[in-house]
Amino acid sequence: MKRNIVRVFMLITVLVMLTAGLSACKGGAAAPADKVKVGLSFSDFATERWKPESEIMKKALEAKGYEVLVQEAAHDVKLQNDQIDNMVAQGVKGLIIVAEDGEAAVTSVDKAVKAGVKVIAYDRPIKTASVSAYLTFDNTEVGRQEALGVMTALGLPGSTTWTADNPAKVVLSGGSPTDNNAHLVRNGQMEVIQPYIDSGVIKVVADFWVENWDAAKALSQMENTLTANQNKIDAVIASNDGTALGELTALKAQGLAGKVPISGQDATADGCNSIVKGEQTVTVYKDFRLLAPKAVDSLDALINGKTLEGVQTIPLKTLFGDDKLTGDMACVFLPVVQVNKDNVYQEIVVSGFQPYDAVYRDIPADQLPPKPGEAAAATEAPAATEPILIGLSFSDFATERWKPESELLTTALEALGYKVVVQEAAHDVKLQNDQIDNMVAQGAKGLIIIAEDGAAVVTAADKAAAAGVKVIAYDRPIKSSSVSAYLTFDNTEVGRQEALGVMTALGLPGSTTWTADNPAKVVLSGGSPTDNNAHLVRNGQMEVIQPYIDSGVIKIVADFWVENWDAAKALSQMENTLTANQNKIDAVIASNDGTALGELTALKAQGLAGKVPISGQDASADGCNSIVKGEQTVTVYKDFRLLVPKAVETMDALIKGNAIEGVQTIPLKTLFGDDTLTGDMACVFLPVVQVNKDNVYQEIVVSKFQPYDAVYRDIPADQLPPKP
């Protein structure tokens, strides 16, 4: 079954061609006859990711003409300082440093900078304003995603198992206490779990930190924790894959592996293998293939006196949570992705981040997915004299993504032997209900519905379910517990990422421009008011911006919703907003690419495009093209190539009476924020990724989500990246 679905949707394996790509970039070092030296200083090579990253950076820097020195300190703080001093003495002009201790490294870093060396803090901050740039992933978001993965596995929110009288017993396992990133990760974890702690739904029964992120120490600490709690723990929020796997050894010894959810990060081969075995629950994927080339390009730019792209300036006191610190740091934050059993194949294996054979080692042959690039074995279609009819009901085809998704769904379902009928309602609520009724009358046994209005379509959906039809709400919820399953992306996270992208472009947090006396003037542009997803997106946006509103740092000068997500209506509403505010706006948080592009038309007319940050979602070809042109600031990438096969797999399972994988049960009152609703809904939520000018090439073009020529149309030839 899954082989056939994946066969239809197999994405071309993406391998990052660093050497070729980087050598094609602008800039470069001195001529080979007099090579400029640069140094790479690593805290250790015991951490799985550091050795390959050192090799990637070395090769890329050499391709630019540099001579590269590489040192590894084996967790020895003094040794790392000595190695840095030695590289400076050898005449390096630039250093990329993975610090063992971000405070202890200050001495050698400050000396290097005084000697004219450009210093990049790589993935771990160094506690001094002398650093030229700090490149890392969003480590607070790592913690959020770890905790969200574990909470989801516990059935939260909405669980009836865990209550104030029977709280889930949770263990917190932090990373190395000397690594500032470990504390940022913990901050993100606590953002998610603190409300559950406050309400008594979870109880933290142990909280420890693992020196040097050492798996053996994590194992020992977990053994002690299990003994102290008589093995009665319900979940572990661990901070990376190495410590999680150490702790899993202790859990296995007590028969708890696979029963107690546990998180990690880094998407290591061992961690992903543990996930496919059903032991580790979740990891957080930080694609260092994006970070390493960014570091190389940044160091090259610094050495050659050029401006860094994608930088935001953050006060050290904010970055380290220490009011005694002064000065700022130039930071570049890259996005992260939550990975679990449902998306590990696509995100990690198909993308080429980890080898297929490493992730799927020791997995029985009959449980293996196909190797990327190989045709999956054909499976038999559902046994029936006549093909079973499945109906696809779309709200509209004006929204760019719906037409291609209808075609992908049709192809995949037909490949499984189903007959498919497709209807499009052109934003007409009554017409959609009539079309659904008609498909049921034709004998459809399953329906995949993209609802124009999640409340209005209940009438037709309930009638269909009462007739024995399996109904999937696709990407938009239907306000009825008769729905068999709701498949979507995490739309609240979409809103968070949109708002985060715009706040980052404004220099928040940490901006000295925006204050209570001079707040940034922000426009909120919501999606269609009849689309529940638009409200979930708005919820996520408000989570990010409400603290800025409360502190007076931003002021909402307009707040409107765009009926039917219509670009023309968005244009008109933005024109009115600009007139009302005499063109004095500083940012727009728009909710999808279509409305953002409509609003950009109004901004262009006033000379504000590219000056006023604006967000979107869907990573449409036009939206991504606008991003590379420097107009739209950010979009949120929802890879429907993951959603489509999941919908087909789910429909096939429902028709055959099989269990759906990756489901969590959510009360309707929670899903819709309406206490009058009763009943639950089976939900599957897929992850999303923030995309901006820095990662649009890798995330969108290299992955083949959008065509190169569409994203880079009208871009001057000398500014084009290489074709993948």
* Other Cβ atoms closer than 10 A to 9: 18
**pLDDT: is 612 or 288 the higher one?**
612
Q: Is the pLDDT of residue 511 over 70?
A: yes
Assign 675 a pLDDT band (cuts: 50, 70, 90): confident
Q: Is the pLDDT of residue 5 over 50?
A: no
pTM value > 0.85: no
Tell me what pLDDT residue 385 has: 61
In angstroms, rounded to a whole number, what is the distance separating the alpha carbons of residues 237 and 193?
10
Is there a common fold for 384-483+641-685 and 491-638+694-719?
Answer: yes
Tell me what pLDDT residue 17 has: 34
Q: Is the pLDDT of residue 632 over 60?
A: yes
Mean pLDDT of all residues in 228-248:
96
E-assigned strands of 541-648?
Answer: 554-561, 587-590, 635-637
Under 8 Å between Cβ of 35 and 65 = yes
Tokens in use for 603? 């901004």
Mean pLDDT of all residues in 425-450:
94
Q: Is the pLDDT of residue 520 over 80?
A: yes
**pLDDT: is 320 or 363 the higher one?**
363
554-561, strands of its sheet edge to edge: 554-561, 520-526, 587-590
In angstroms, rounded to a whole number, what is the distance separating the alpha carbons of residues 258 and 113?
49
Tell me what pLDDT residue 24 has: 37
Phi and psi at residue 615, to the nearest 5°: -105, 170
Tell me what pLDDT residue 380 has: 43
Tokens in use for 637? 């990438």
Under 8 Å between Cβ of 37 and 90 = yes
Query: End-to-end CA distance of the chain, in Å?
Result: 31
- Helix then strand count (H, E) for the chain reads 26, 24
Under 8 Å between Cβ of 163 and 201 = yes
Q: Is the pLDDT of residue 170 over 70?
A: yes
In angstroms, rounded to a whole number, what is the distance separating the alpha carbons of residues 299 and 117?
10
Tell me what pLDDT residue 669 has: 84
In angstroms, rounded to a whole number, what is the distance separating the alpha carbons of residues 405 and 394?
10
Which of 243, 203, 251, 244 lies closest to 225, judged by CA?
Answer: 251
In angstroms, rounded to a whole number, what is the distance separating the alpha carbons of residues 100 and 77?
6
Phi and psi at residue 81, to the nearest 5°: -60, -45
Q: For residue range 643-666, what is the model confidence (pLDDT) as tens digits?
A: 888 999 899 999 998 888 778 888
Mean pLDDT of all residues in 579-594:
96
Find the helix or strand (DSSP H, E) in which 344 lies: helix 344-344
In angstroms, how far is CA 211 from the centroid of its own chain?
A: 28
In angstroms, how far is CA 96 from the centroid of its own chain?
A: 26
Q: For residue range 108-145, what is the model confidence (pLDDT) as tens digits?
A: 999 999 999 999 999 889 999 999 999 988 888 899 99
Q: Is the pLDDT of residue 6 over 70?
A: no
In angstroms, how far is CA 358 from the centroid of its own chain?
A: 23
Domain ranges of the chain: 18-138+287-335, 384-483+641-685, 491-638+694-719
Q: Is the pLDDT of residue 25 over 60?
A: no
Tokens in use for 653? 């399972």
Tell me what pLDDT residue 30 has: 40
Side-chain-side CA neighbours of 722 within 13 Å: the count stands at: 12
Q: For residue range 138-167, what is the model confidence (pLDDT) as tens digits?
A: 888 899 999 999 998 998 887 889 999 999
> Quick one: DSSP state of residue 700?
I
| Helices 106-114/77-89 angle, 10° precision | 10
3-state secondary structure of 31: coil
Paired residues of 449 in beta bridges: 393, 473
Q: For residue range 72-84, what is the model confidence (pLDDT) as tens digits?
A: 999 999 999 999 9
Q: Is the pLDDT of residue 377 over 50?
A: no
Assign 687 a pLDDT band (cuts: 50, 70, 90): confident
Q: Which residues of 554-590 are buried (b: 16+ CB within 10 A; e: fewer)?
A: beebbebbbebbbbebbbebbbebbeeeeeebbbbbb
Under 8 Å between Cβ of 120 and 94 = yes
Indicate the range of 6-15, 32-41, 91-100 predicted with least confidence: 6-15
Side-chain-side CA neighbours of 708 within 13 Å: the count stands at: 8
Tokens in use for 241? 């894959």
Which one of 2.70.98.40, 2.40.10.330, 3.40.50.2300, 3.20.190.10 gives the CATH number of domain 491-638+694-719?
3.40.50.2300
Under 8 Å between Cβ of 525 and 556 = no
> Quick one: DSSP state of residue 214?
-
Phi and psi at residue 66, to the nearest 5°: -85, 155
Rg (CA), the chain: 26
> Quick one: DSSP state of residue 615?
B
Under 8 Å between Cβ of 192 and 144 = yes
Q: Is the pLDDT of residue 277 over 50?
A: yes
In angstroms, rounded to a whole number, what is the distance separating the alpha carbons of residues 234 and 103?
36
Q: Which CATH architecture has domain 384-483+641-685?
A: 3-Layer(aba) Sandwich (3.40)
Q: Which CATH architecture has domain 18-138+287-335?
A: 3-Layer(aba) Sandwich (3.40)
* Other Cβ atoms closer than 10 A to 283: 32
For 636-688, the DSSP string reads EE--HHHHHHHHHHHHHHHHHTPPPTT-EEEEHHHHHT-TT--SEEEEEEE--
Residues in the chain: 724
User: What separation in angstroms does the CA of 658 have from each of 368, 415, 651?
Assistant: 19, 19, 10
Q: Is the pLDDT of residue 210 over 70?
A: yes
Residue indicated by tokens 């999303």: 688
Tell me what pLDDT residue 335 has: 79
Tell me what pLDDT residue 41 has: 96
For 374-403, the DSSP string reads SPPPP-PPP--SSPPEEEEEES-S-STTHH
User: What separation in angstroms does the CA of 202 have from each of 168, 195, 338, 654?
Assistant: 5, 9, 22, 33
